[in-house]
């Protein structure tokens, strides 16, 4: 592993940890607001909780779909360039297996 890869790994770790910290904080902060939201819309607690969790849930699903779409697009591009699965580089094979 080169020095540049090591820095990039730490940057990715820091960025993903920061994003998860913010996302979890936002979702948990709705717990403080839940009684007021429930009273304002005159609804049950589970309905408010379900609506609050829709955004992170849909975001996770869209993220996975985007990942699979990009993998398929990358494989189609390799085939168009005349490089079937047998002719992929080692890096492309590793990315395709993930």
- Residue pair 72/79 in contact by the 8 Å Cβ criterion: no
Q: What is the mean pLDDT of residues 40-47?
A: 92
Q: Identify the residue with better confidence: 1 or 7.
A: 7
pLDDT of residue 86: 53
Identify which of 52, 50, 56 has the alpha carbon closest to the alpha carbon of residue 33: 52
pLDDT tens digit sequence for 4-21: 678 888 898 999 999 889
How far is the C-alpha of 60 from the C-alpha of 56, rounded, in Å?
6
Going by pLDDT thresholds of 50, 70 and 90, the confidence category of residue 81 is low
Q: Indicate the helix (H) or strand (E) that contains 72.
A: helix 45-80
Angle between helices 3-41 and 45-80 (to 10 degrees): 150
Residue ranges per domain, the chain?
3-97
Predicted confidence (pLDDT) at residue 39 exceeds the cutoff of 60: yes
Query: 56 and 27 in contact (C-beta within 8 Å)?
Result: yes
């Amino acid at each position: 592993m080169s020095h540049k890869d090591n820095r990039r790994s730490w940057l990715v770790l820091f960025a993903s940890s920061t994003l998860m910290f913010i996302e979890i904080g936002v979702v948990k902060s709705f717990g403080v607001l839940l009684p007021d939201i429930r009273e304002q819309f005159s609804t049950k607690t589970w309905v408010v909780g379900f609506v609050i969790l829709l955004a992170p849930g849909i975001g996770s699903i869209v993220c996975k779909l985007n990942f699979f779409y990009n993998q398929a697009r990358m494989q189609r591009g390799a085939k168009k360039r005349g490089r079937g699965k047998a002719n992929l580089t080692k890096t492309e094979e590793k990315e395709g297996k993930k």
